[in-house]
């Protein structure tokens, strides 16, 4: 008999700005280079200072392992849900290389240390939409609006945009179908659970009907 149960969700997770707090780490290293800002206003990096900041970061040993989670416990909760629901998770990142181990190895260790055993990590440079299509992903989670639009344009995947910012959403995202907007990774997981449940509803209804039919056809003892 053919198994008609839906396969587990295939979900691609961006790292920085979604699970890992890159902004805080860059602010920390910016302070190392340039000191504290003169006032409370946000310091704006000139292009030359930004290039120097990234050169400084890339010269650090295993920089990617120094980042904190954007929301504590999100990685371990993702691991638990993936195990419970049979989700297939792949972590996608465009991280540049730094001193020490490769960006892929650092990311793998970072995820493992926060409760996700044996993560699949891809360091990618191509369009996220092309990657989502090639991997047949159902959902991709990213913190960049243009990446989300790219994904729904070039693949059948849904996109979840992590937009934990005070500024308004870009017009390119507004009223787009197949893009959900959330504040952080825990809300992302709530959306994924709801989406997964909606996929399982036909299976649950068929299972219930089969049980009722079996009960009717089974002779009483």
Domain boundaries, the chain: 10-21+69-217
Q: With 70 as the cut, is the pLDDT of residue 111 above it? A: yes
Instruction: Report the alpha-carbon distance of residue 76 to residue 169 in Å, rounded.
Output: 29
Kindly state the average pLDDT of the residues 46-58.
Answer: 95
Q: With 70 as the cut, is the pLDDT of residue 207 above it? A: no
Q: What string of H, E and C letters represents the secondary structure of the chain?
A: CCCCCCCCCEEEEECECCCECHHHHHHHHHHHHHCCCCCCCCCCCCHHHHHHHHHHHHCCECHHHHCCECCCCHHHHHHHHHHHHCCEEEEEECCCCCECCCHHHHHHHHHHHCCCCCCCEEECCCCHHHHHHHCCCCEEEECCHHHHHHHHHHCCCEEEEECCCCCCCCCCCCCCCCEEEECCHHHHHHHHHHHHHHHHHHHHHHHHHHHHHHHHHCCCC
Q: What global pTM score does this model have?
A: 0.84
Q: With 50 as the cut, is the pLDDT of residue 51 above it? A: yes
Would you say how long the chain is, in residues? Answer: 221
* pLDDT at site 199: 87
Question: Taking Cα atoms as reference points, which of 77, 86, 80 lies closest to residue 199?
Answer: 86
Q: With 90 as the cut, is the pLDDT of residue 81 above it? A: yes
| Structural fold of domain 10-21+69-217 | Rossmann fold (3.40.50)
Q: How does the average pLDDT of the chain come out, rounded?
A: 86
158-184 burial by CB neighbour count: b if 16+ within 10 A, else e?
bbbbbbeeeeeeeeebeebeebbbbeb
* pLDDT at site 176: 64
* pLDDT at site 211: 52
Please tell me which residue, 3 or 50, carries the higher pLDDT value.
Answer: 50
Q: With 80 as the cut, is the pLDDT of residue 220 above it? A: no
Please tell me which residue, 29 or 170, carries the higher pLDDT value.
Answer: 29
Kindly state the average pLDDT of the residues 84-99.
Answer: 97
* pLDDT at site 49: 92
Q: With 50 as the cut, is the pLDDT of residue 216 above it? A: no
* pLDDT at site 213: 45
* pLDDT at site 36: 82
Instruction: Report the alpha-carbon distance of residue 144 to residue 55 in Å, rounded.
Output: 23
Please tell me which residue, 144 or 165, carries the higher pLDDT value.
Answer: 144
């Amino acid at each position: 008999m053919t198994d008609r149960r839906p396969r587990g969700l295939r979900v691609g997770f961006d790292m920085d700005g979604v699970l890992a707090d890159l902004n805080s780490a860059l602010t920390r290293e910016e302070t190392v280079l340039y000191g504290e800002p003169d006032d409370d206003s946000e310091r704006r990096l000139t292009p030359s200072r930004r290039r120097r900041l990234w050169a400084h970061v890339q010269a650090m040993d295993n920089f990617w392992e120094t980042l904190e989670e954007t929301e504590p416990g999100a990685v371990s909760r993702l691991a638990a849900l993936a195990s419970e629901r049979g989700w297939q998770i792949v972590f996608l990142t465009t991280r540049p290389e730094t001193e020490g181990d490769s960006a892929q190895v650092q990311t793998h260790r970072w995820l493992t240390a926060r409760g996700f055993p044996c993560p699949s990590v891809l360091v990618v440079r191509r369009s996220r939409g092309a990657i989502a299509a090639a991997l047949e992903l159902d959902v991709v989670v990213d913190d960049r609006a243009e990446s989300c639009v790219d994904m729904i344009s070039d693949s059948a995947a849904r996109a979840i945009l992590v937009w934990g910012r005070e500024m308004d959403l870009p017009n390119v995202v507004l009223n787009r179908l197949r893009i959900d907007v959330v504040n952080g990774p825990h809300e992302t997981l709530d959306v994924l659970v709801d989406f997964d449940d909606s996929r399982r509803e036909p299976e649950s209804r068929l299972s219930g009907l089969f049980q009722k039919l079996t009960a009717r056809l089974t002779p009483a003892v």
